[in-house]
C-alpha cells in the first residue's frame, strides 16, 4: 500500500535535508518508488514511448535512405601462349596497378558522360555545373579495388536497384572497351612515332653517306687505310735513303783512296804508237761494256756512255789511219806505252765515280719520293679530322637507324597483337546482378532501434524523476531525515472515482501501446509481402 506524503515546510535547510535524504534512498526502497511513479505517470510514459516509436517508424519508412549495391569484376590476363613465342619481339604494355588504371579510365570525363546517359541523369538535361556535381556523386558512390592480382572489382551504390545494376554493368563494359582501345591506340601511336623516326634517320643516314662519299671522291688521300700505307711507304723510303747515303759515303771514301793511289803511279811505262794506245783503250771499253751489259740494259746511262766513248775512240783511230796514210817526219814518232797499273786505277776510279753518280741519282729519286710521301701524309693528317667526323656521323646514324628498324618491327608486332586483342584479354569475371535487398542500415534495424530508444527514454525519465525529486517517498526517509521514529503509516484512501480514473488511464495506455505494436506488425507484414 502507498503512503501519504507528510507536509514539510520548504525552508532552505529542509530542501537540503530532503536532497540528502534522497541521496540516502535505500535500494529496497528505489524499486517501489519507481513503480509508484510509473503508475502515477503511466499515460505520459506510454505517450512518450508511442511518440518515439511512431517517429522512428515514419523515419524508417519515408526518410531512411536505401542503398542498393551492385558489384562486378573484370579479369585482365596476358596471353600465356603468345608471350613466350614473342619474347623480345613484342613490347608488353601491361600495368601493375590495375585498380589505379581502372579509376583513371572509369572516372574520366568521357566515361562519366556515358554513365550519366545510361543512368538516366541526362533525361532532365542538367547544366554543365549540375553534370559535374552528378559526376562527383557517382565517383563518391563508386569503389574500384584489386580483389586479387589482375582482377579489378567495381562496386556501385545507388538508391535505385535498377540504376545501380545498369551503372555497374556499364562501368565494366566501358572499362574493357576503353582499356583495349587505349592499349591499341597506344601501340599504334608508338608504331607511328617509331616509323617517323625511322624515316627521319634514313634521310640522315643517306645524307651522311653522300657527304662521306663526296669527300672521299674529292680527296684521293681520304681513303680507308691511306694513313697506314703512307706510314709504311715513308718508313721504306727512309730506309732506302739511309742505305743509299751509307753506300755513297763508302764510295766517296773509295774514290779518295783511288785518287791517292793514282797520283803515285806514272801514266807511261813504255813507248808505243797511238794506234796501239787507241786499241788498248778500245779493248778496255769493250770489257767495261761487256761487264755492264751483264747487269743493265742497252738504255742504261753507263752503257750509253761507254758506247759513246768507244765511238769516239773508233773515230780517233780512223783519223789516225788517215793521218798515217800521209806520212811525215814528225808522224813517225811513237807514243809512250801506258802503265797497266795506272790504267787499272783509272778504270776503278771511273767505275767508282759512275757508281757515285748512280747512287746520287737514286738517292735524289728516293728523297723526292720521300718528300712526296711526307706531303701526302700531311694532307692525310689535315683531312683525317674531317673524315673522322663524317665517318662518326655516318656510323652513329647507321647504328640508330638499325636499332630503330628493330624497334619498328617490334612495335608492328605489338600493334597487330593489340589490334587483334591477343596480347591482353579483358573479360567480365563476375557480371553485375540486380540487387534485391538494400544494404547497410535497413528498415528492420532502424525500427528495432526506435523501439529500444522508445523504451529507454521513458525509463530514464522515470529514474531521473525519482532520483532528483525532493519529495519524501518512504517512512525510512522520515526517520533518517528527522531522526525520530515512525509509529505507523496511514495508507492512502482511494475513492471509486479515483479507481475509475486510474482504470481509464491504464486502458488508454494499453490502447496506445497496442496501437504501436499493431503498427509495427502491419509494417513488417507489408515489407515481407513486398520482398516476396
pLDDT score of 149? 76
> 457 to each of 35, 42, 248, 410, 448, how far by Cα in Å?
16, 13, 138, 76, 14
Question: What is the C-alpha to C-alpha distance for residues 270 and 303, in angstroms, rounded to an integer?
Answer: 31
Report the candidate in 308, 303, 310 with the shortest Cα–Cα distance to residue 285. 310
Find residue 424's DSSP bridge partners. Answer: 78
Read off the pLDDT band of 431 (50, 70, 90).
confident
The per-residue pLDDT for range 17-50, each reduced to its tens digit, is: 444 434 446 667 778 778 888 888 888 888 898 8
CATH topology of domain 226-399: Helix Hairpins (1.10.287)
The per-residue pLDDT for range 489-516, each reduced to its tens digit, is: 777 777 888 788 888 888 888 888 888 8
Report the candidate in 340, 323, 341, 321 with the shortest Cα–Cα distance to residue 331. 323
Q: What is the CA radius of gyration of the chain?
A: 66
- Which has the higher per-residue pLDDT, 309 or 88? 309
Question: What is the C-alpha to C-alpha distance for residues 270 and 272, in angstroms, rounded to an integer?
Answer: 7
The per-residue pLDDT for range 181-227, each reduced to its tens digit, is: 877 788 888 888 888 888 888 888 888 888 878 877 777 666 666 66
Helix and strand element counts for the chain (H, E):
15, 6
Q: How does DSSP assign 246-275, residue by residue?
A: HHHHHHHHHHHHHHHHHHTS-SEEEEE-HH
For residue 138, report the phi and psi dihedrals to the nearest 5 degrees.
-65, -40
CA 526 from centre of chain: 62
- What is the 3 state secondary structure string of 410-434? HHHHHHHHHHCCCCEEEEEEECCCC
The per-residue pLDDT for range 119-138, each reduced to its tens digit, is: 888 888 888 899 889 889 88
The per-residue pLDDT for range 235-244, each reduced to its tens digit, is: 888 888 888 8
CB 56 within 8 A of CB 447: yes
C-alpha cell at 455: 523504451
For residue 503, report the phi and psi dihedrals to the nearest 5 degrees.
-65, -40
C-alpha cell at 341: 797499273
Q: What stretches of 48-141 adopt beta strand conformation (E)? A: 68-78
Q: Domain ranges for the chain, please list them.
A: 25-64+442-531, 68-199+408-430, 226-399
- Which has the higher per-residue pLDDT, 389 or 156? 156
C-alpha cell at 526: 507489408
- Which has the higher per-residue pLDDT, 310 or 9? 310
CB 334 within 8 A of CB 271: yes
Amino acid at each position: 500500500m502507498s503512503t501519504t506524503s507528510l507536509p514539510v515546510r520548504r525552508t532552505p535547510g529542509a530542501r537540503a535535508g530532503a536532497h540528502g535524504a534522497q541521496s540516502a534512498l535505500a535500494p529496497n526502497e528505489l524499486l517501489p518508488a519507481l513503480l509508484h511513479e510509473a503508475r502515477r505517470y503511466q499515460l505520459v510514459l506510454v505517450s512518450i514511448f508511442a511518440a518515439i516509436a511512431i517517429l522512428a517508424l515514419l523515419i524508417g519508412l519515408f526518410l531512411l535512405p536505401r542503398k542498393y549495391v551492385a558489384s562486378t569484376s573484370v579479369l585482365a590476363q596476358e596471353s600465356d601462349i603468345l608471350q613466350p613465342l614473342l619474347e623480345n619481339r613484342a613490347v608488353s604494355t601491361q600495368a601493375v596497378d590495375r585498380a589505379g588504371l581502372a579509376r583513371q579510365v572509369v572516372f574520366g570525363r568521357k566515361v562519366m558522360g556515358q554513365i550519366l546517359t545510361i543512368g538516366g541523369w541526362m533525361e532532365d538535361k542538367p547544366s554543365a555545373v549540375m553534370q559535374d556535381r552528378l559526376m562527383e556523386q557517382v565517383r563518391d558512390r563508386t569503389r574500384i579495388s584489386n580483389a586479387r592480382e589482375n582482377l579489378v572489382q567495381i562496386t556501385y551504390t545507388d538508391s535505385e536497384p535498377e540504376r545501380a545494376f545498369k551503372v555497374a554493368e556499364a562501368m565494366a563494359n566501358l572499362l574493357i572497351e576503353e582499356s583495349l582501345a587505349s592499349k591499341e591506340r597506344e601501340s599504334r601511336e608508338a608504331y607511328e612515332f617509331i616509323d617517323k623516326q625511322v624515316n627521319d634517320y634514313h634521310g640522315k643516314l643517306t645524307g651522311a653517306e653522300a657527304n662521306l662519299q663526296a669527300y672521299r671522291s674529292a680527296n684521293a688521300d681520304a681513303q680507308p687505310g691511306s694513313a697506314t700505307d703512307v706510314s709504311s711507304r715513308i718508313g721504306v723510303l727512309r730506309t732506302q735513303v739511309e742505305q743509299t747515303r751509307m753506300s755513297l759515303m763508302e764510295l766517296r771514301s773509295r774514290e779518295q783512296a783511288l785518287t791517292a793511289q793514282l797520283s803515285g803511279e806514272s801514266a807511261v811505262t813504255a813507248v808505243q804508237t797511238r794506234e796501239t794506245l787507241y786499241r788498248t783503250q778500245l779493248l778496255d771499253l769493250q770489257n767495261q761494256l761487256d761487264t755492264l751489259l751483264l747487269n743493265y740494259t742497252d738504255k742504261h746511262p753507263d752503257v750509253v756512255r761507254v758506247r759513246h766513248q768507244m765511238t769516239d775512240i773508233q773515230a780517233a783511230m780512223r783519223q789516225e789511219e788517215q793521218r798515217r796514210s800521209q806520212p811525215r817526219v814528225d808522224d813517225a814518232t811513237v807514243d809512250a806505252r801506258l802503265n797497266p797499273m795506272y790504267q787499272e786505277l783509272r778504270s776503278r776510279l771511273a767505275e767508282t765515280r759512275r757508281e757515285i753518280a748512280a747512287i746520287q741519282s737514286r738517292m735524289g729519286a728516293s728523297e723526292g719520293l720521300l718528300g712526296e710521301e711526307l706531303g701526302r701524309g700531311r694532307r692525310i693528317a689535315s683531312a683525317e679530322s674531317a673524315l673522322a667526323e663524317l665517318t662518326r656521323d655516318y656510323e652513329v646514324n647507321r647504328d640508330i637507324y638499325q636499332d630503330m628498324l628493330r624497334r619498328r618491327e617490334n612495335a608492328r608486332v605489338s600493334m597487330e597483337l593489340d589490334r587483334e586483342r591477343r596480347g591482353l584479354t579483358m573479360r567480365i569475371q563476375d557480371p553485375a546482378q540486380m540487387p534485391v535487398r538494400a544494404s547497410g542500415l535497413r528498415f528492420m534495424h532502424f525500427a528495432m532501434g526506435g523501439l529500444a530508444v522508445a523504451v529507454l527514454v521513458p525509463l530514464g525519465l522515470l529514474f531521473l524523476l525519482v532520483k532528483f525529486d525532493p519529495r519524501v517517498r518512504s517512512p525510512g526517509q522520515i526517520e533518517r531525515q528527522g531522526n525520530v521514529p515512525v509509529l505507523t503509516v496511514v495508507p492512502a484512501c482511494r475513492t471509486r472515482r479515483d479507481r475509475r480514473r486510474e482504470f481509464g488511464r491504464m486502458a488508454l495506455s494499453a490502447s496506445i501501446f497496442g496501437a504501436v505494436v499493431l503498427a509495427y506488425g502491419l509494417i513488417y507484414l507489408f515489407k515481407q509481402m513486398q520482398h516476396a
